[in-house]
Structure 1
Amino acid sequence: MGNPLFPFALTLLAVVTSAPDPQVMREEPFQTALASMDVAAEEQACLAPRIANSDGRRQALRDRLLALHPVIDSLELVLENAEALMSCGAPEAAAVVLNRYSPRPGDERRKWLLLRWRAAAAAQDHHQAALALRRLVDGNLTALDAALFPDQSLPDQENGLDQLAFHEAALGRNAVAVEVQLLGDLKGLQGAKRLARAAQWLDTDQFEQADQLLETALDQAAAAAAWGLAMDLLHQQLQLQLEAGGDGERPRQRMLRLATVLNDRYAIQQLHPEAEPDPLLRSPRDPGGHADVRPSAVAPSP
């Protein structure tokens, strides 16, 4: 592999930058530079703003990346090639490239499967995404209850078990999604959110189970003084009870008590739409709304 961006990628970027409109770039210098670039250079070129805004030029880079290494004999090269295609907005092509290489057991296989999952998830190929996650832990799904990329300092790490549940639900396999979601740690705020998702995926004839999951989630949200989440859970419980043919009076009254404690005029107005509009109505995201409440607030009584 050559040196990224030198010399032909620089030539290409110079051509792009000098052109007032990427659609009127001269084809000959573009093709000359394209034919001589390596994977790293093509990835950088694909990210250049002028090329990123030109569908034709970006597609040419994708096609070149896909055809560049029809036979791949190293993990480093297959990951580099697939990452470049991901950066170029072609996750389906990245999956094609990954399938050209059979990783060895151990760390190679893990890196390969993680990128295979990312490519499938980006392409919304939920079947392949779920399969990659299951293969990542050889079917031991509880091992997925961890950050998929623990070495990366990301503010919101993607949890493998949650991701698998999302893919299963997207495939319409709600019962499997519930089973997967409930395999994880169900304590604290993360647990409350997982319980709420499981309740959402249960069938309508499983009302009692869903209602109980939401009750547990509410207890955990209240224990953490997460009042915004508690209000969301009560909304979900209200909708669940209405869909099951109930009157929803209990969650509605609890929502009203919580909104009163939090001085959430917006929620109170929503619960009483027939009432005179509140002249001091504020959004729950404004100072004083439930998103701004301090932990000293009182939890709603059951």
Structure 2
Amino acid sequence: MSFLLYLPEVPAAPLACRGLARRGGRAAGLLTLLFLCAGVSVGARAQPQPVSLPEPVPVPVPQPEPVQAAPLPMDEQVFAAALASDQLPVLEQACRDAARFDLPVRLRQLKDRLVAMRPAPQPLPVVLANANALISCLAPEAALSVLDRFGPGPGLERQQWLTLQWRAANAGLNHRRAAEALRRLSGGERSRLETMALPVRLRDDGSLDTRSALDVLASHLAAMGRRQEAAEVLLAGRLPGVVGAERLKLAAALLDDLPLAQRNALVEMALDQAAVAGAWGLAAQLLDDQQALQRLEGGDPEPARQRRLRLSRRIDDAYAEWLLQRDDPSEAARIKVLKQRLRSPREQGGHAPSAAQPATLPAQEPAAPSAADSVEPTTP
């Protein structure tokens, strides 16, 4: 049994296995028992291994946003220092702050300081900065008085001076001074104002909203009651499309002393421009104006009504179509359909599909209208 010397060393077997070994008679049986008992012994002694759990992932806790404090006006000491300053940008900033928080006492103090601080004569940049600060101080009339201290010659300086003069007059609703400044800017040629953009409003994002000086001049003239002159200014424009159509529309409304045929001709010209530009909403407004004009002047509004009806069908304007046909008994079936479409979709009888009724396929989109079949001109 020398081969047993080469067996690997195994741990001591339990008593039951030792008994089996004693009863074994053969070497092979003994070897098998030794291996089995060794396996049992090892299995009996095996200790359970600890199970490693994953680390918990920290969940970020949302932090409340910090509450921003309400903005406050300039401190008294800071304002006193700004009021004593001789720097126009510092004074203008104080003006903006006082205007923002509606502080009339500070605005009056700043206005008096700005008017007295730079007496004439001063170079143009100083005059412009001084007037601009006064506009920020809500003192446009004082800004005009400061600008009147300077008289620039022709050229860029004169254009800057007149533009700021218009700004001051416009801020103070001084239509006469504003119109005069624009008239002098045009140099006697009103069409030059068409390409001149004037700042009319500061948007919330800080950008400037501009408007053509030609339209601005017409607005000032109309506000003064000079309606015919305002219409002449509008008709001096040369831009086509929507801009031209809107100017013709306004001119026709201003020239209420013209005969019906001439005013109707202006509306027809505006319709042509709107149709070329595809501005069908504007064309609809023009046809509505044309109907009202014909009724007011004793003309025949039916041609304009028929054109408006055709246009409303082409652009799917159900409300306008219903208005134009609601008193026509021969269109009772169509009026019923239009009334159903004009209901709230979820209202009883509305056009939204119910749960028990499957939705129907949408109607085919109407074709884009053309100038020929939607707003064709009529004989005045």
TM-score by length of 1: 0.77
CA distance in structure 2 between the partners assigned to 1:294 and 1:99 by the alignment? 60
Whether the 8 Å contact between 2:162 and 2:185 is mirrored in structure 1 is yes
Q: State the Cα RMSD in Å.
A: 3.2
Establish whether residue 165 from structure 1 lines up as the match of residue 218 from structure 2: yes
Whether the 8 Å contact between 2:88 and 2:130 is mirrored in structure 1 is yes
CA distance in structure 2 between the partners assigned to 1:48 and 1:196 by the alignment? 42
Aligned to 2:368: 296
Aligned to 1:4: none
Out of 232, 237, 240, which is 2:285 matched to? 232
Whether the 8 Å contact between 1:262 and 1:297 is mirrored in structure 2 is yes
Out of 281, 291, 311, which is 1:258 matched to? 311
Aligned to 2:111: 62
Look up the SS of the partner of 2:165 in the other structure. helix
Q: Mark the CA change 1:186 to 1:214 in structure 2 (over 3 Å): closer, same or farther.
A: farther
Q: How many residues align structurally?
A: 271
Identity, % of aligned positions: 45
Question: Aligned runs of 1:92-107 on 2, under 5 Å?
Answer: 92-107=141-156
Higher RCO (C-alpha 8 Å, min separation 6) = 1
Structure 2 stretches of 5 or more lacking a match? 1-68, 200-206, 328-334, 345-364
Out of 65, 78, 91, which is 1:42 matched to? 91
Look up the SS of the partner of 1:278 in the other structure. helix
Aligned to 2:63: none
Letter in 2 for 1:278: K
Whether the 8 Å contact between 1:45 and 1:51 is mirrored in structure 2 is no
Letter in 1 for 2:289: Q
Letter in 2 for 1:132: A
Letter in 1 for 2:177: Q
Establish whether residue 79 from structure 1 lines up as the match of residue 106 from structure 2: no
Q: Mark the CA change 1:40 to 1:229 in structure 2 (over 3 Å): closer, same or farther.
A: same
Establish whether residue 217 from structure 1 lines up as the match of residue 270 from structure 2: yes
Whether the 8 Å contact between 2:131 and 2:146 is mirrored in structure 1 is yes
Establish whether residue 176 from structure 1 lines up as the match of residue 229 from structure 2: yes
Please list the CA deviations of residues 59-92 of structure 1 after superposition, one character each: whole Å capped at 9, or x if unmatched: 3323322332232411101111111122233222
Q: Mark the CA change 1:256 to 1:249 in structure 2 (over 3 Å): closer, same or farther.
A: same
Please list the CA deviations of residues 160-190 of structure 1 after superposition, one character each: whole Å capped at 9, or x if unmatched: 2222222222221112122222122052222
Establish whether residue 190 from structure 1 lines up as the match of residue 243 from structure 2: yes
Letter in 2 for 1:96: S
CA distance in structure 2 between the partners assigned to 1:294 and 1:61 by the alignment? 62
Aligned to 2:34: none
Establish whether residue 148 from structure 1 lines up as the match of residue 197 from structure 2: yes
TM-score by length of 2: 0.63
